[in-house]
């Protein structure tokens, strides 16, 4: 299907399946997938490794501000997907732990960190035909994105999905811990003053609590067909 070289913004709460959805759409329609949350996770990891986390998940802000320009955080396409690198080191596995998740949220509330990440994201997306997921892509990073999706799912379902993901990776966590972490992150992400999570006025809401991945893809196809007046219905790859 001939979709123009647009930017697709996918925002929503934690563990609503944004990245799974965005990766699937990227593969189906040959878009570059970029995970903006990975950048905040990368900054959090670097801050943790540099010993800049203080009590109550506070950061040594002057030291972090000095560290940022030295961080070579970038995405590379590998094995059909995009992975985050810090210099030559692939940090994908390191940034997906519960500890990094918990620090990524407070680090992302710091305005100077948001500027740093936004600049990088604009650079990565400069060539267009990008699908990017996060919390403020449709509202702040790319307010002119041609297609904006806002993903939601019921909290119990989100906690269950995240818990299973972490357990499959061998992390020792309880469902209660995961549910609590999600609740705290959602609260922080949507109540911070710098670019809080909210649905853009022109975003389409996708509640996937009871949807399969295939149903999500069919939903997206319908949206793109309607939006770009594409009459022909392409065969989906799955
Ligand atoms: O999507 P994620 O869970 O990987 O994101 C990690 C953290 O980064 C999350 O707590 C919120 C923050 N984030 C953000 O503030 N803005 C974005 N565009 C993406 C993520």
pLDDT tens digits, one per residue of 170-186: 999 999 999 999 999 89
Which residues does 236 contact at the CB level (< 8 Å), separation at least 6?
Answer: 28, 214, 217, 218, 221
> What is the tally of structural domains in the chain?
1
- The rounded average pLDDT for each run of 10 residues, N- to C-terminus, in the chain (238 residues) is 89 94 94 96 98 90 98 91 95 94 92 97 94 96 97 95 93 94 91 92 97 96 88 64
Nearest to 86 by CA among 36, 37, 99, 94: 94
Sign of torsion, CA 200 3 222 35?
negative
Q: How far is the CA of 189 from the centre of ligand 1 (A)?
A: 8
Task: Give me the residue label for tokens 């906690």.
Answer: 159
Q: Is residue 91 in some structural domain?
A: yes
Q: How far is the CA of 36 from the centre of ligand 1 (A)?
A: 7
| CA 217 – CA 231 distance, rounded (Å) | 17
Sort strands 81-86 and 73-78 into parallel, antiparallel or unpaired.
antiparallel
Q: Is residue 176 in some structural domain?
A: yes
| CA 186 – CA 190 distance, rounded (Å) | 6
Query: Domain with 92 in it: what CATH number?
Result: 3.40.50.300
Task: Give me the residue label for tokens 């940034």.
Answer: 95
What token pair was written down for 218? Answer: 């069919």
pTM of the entire structure?
0.91
Q: Is residue 1 in some structural domain?
A: no
Residue range of the domain that includes 69: 7-224
Q: How far is the CA of 79 from the centre of ligand 1 (A)?
A: 24
For ligand 1, atom 18, which residue shows the shortest CA distance?
Answer: 134
What is the structure's pLDDT at 92? 95
- The secondary element (H helix, E strand) that includes residue 181 is helix 175-191
Mutate to test the pocket of ligand 1, among 21, 38, 39, 40 (most ligand atoms within 8 A of CB): 40
Q: Is residue 180 in some structural domain?
A: yes
Q: How far is the CA of 37 from the centre of ligand 1 (A)?
A: 4
| Ligand 1 pocket, Cβ-based, cut-off 6 angstroms | 14, 36-37, 40-41, 104-105, 108, 134-137, 185, 189
Three-state DSSP class for residue 227 = helix
Q: Is residue 187 in some structural domain?
A: yes
Task: Give me the residue label for tokens 């609740």.
Answer: 183
For ligand 1, atom 20, which residue shows the shortest CA distance?
Answer: 37
What is the SS3 string spanning 69-130? Answer: HHCCEEEEEECCEEEEEECCEECCCHHHCHHHHHHHHHHHCCHHHHHHHHHHHHHHCCCCCE
For ligand 1, atom 1, which residue shows the shortest CA distance?
Answer: 37
What token pair was written down for 93? Answer: 């596995």
Q: Is residue 237 in some structural domain?
A: no
Q: Is residue 144 in some structural domain?
A: yes
Q: Is residue 238 in some structural domain?
A: no
């Amino acid at each position: 299907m001939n979709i123009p070289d647009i930017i697709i913004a996918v925002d929503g709460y934690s563990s609503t399946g944004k990245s799974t959805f965005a990766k699937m759409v990227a593969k189906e329609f040959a878009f570059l997938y970029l995970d903006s949350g990975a950048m905040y996770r990368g900054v959090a990891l670097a801050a943790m490794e540099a010993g800049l986390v203080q009590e109550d998940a506070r950061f040594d802000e002057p030291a972090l501000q000095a560290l940022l320009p030295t961080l070579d955080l970038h995405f590379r396409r590998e094995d059909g997907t995009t992975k985050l690198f810090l210099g030559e080191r692939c940090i994908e596995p390191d940034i997906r732990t519960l500890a990094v998740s918990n620090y990524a949220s407070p680090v992302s509330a710091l305005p100077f960190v948001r500027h740093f990440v936004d600049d990088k994201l604009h650079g990565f997306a400069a060539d267009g035909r990008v699908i990017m997921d996060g919390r403020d892509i449709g509202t702040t990073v790319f307010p002119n994105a041609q297609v904006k999706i806002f993903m939601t799912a019921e909290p119990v379902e989100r906690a269950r999905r995240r818990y299973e993901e972490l357990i499959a990776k061998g992390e020792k966590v309880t469902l209660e811990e995961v549910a609590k972490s999600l609740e705290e992150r959602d609260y922080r992400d949507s109540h911070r003053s710098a670019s809080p999570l909210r649905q853009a006025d022109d975003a389409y809401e996708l509640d996937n609590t009871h949807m399969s991945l295939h149903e999500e893809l069919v939903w997206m196809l319908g949206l793109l067909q309607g939006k770009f007046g594409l009459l022909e219905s392409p065969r989906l790859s799955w």
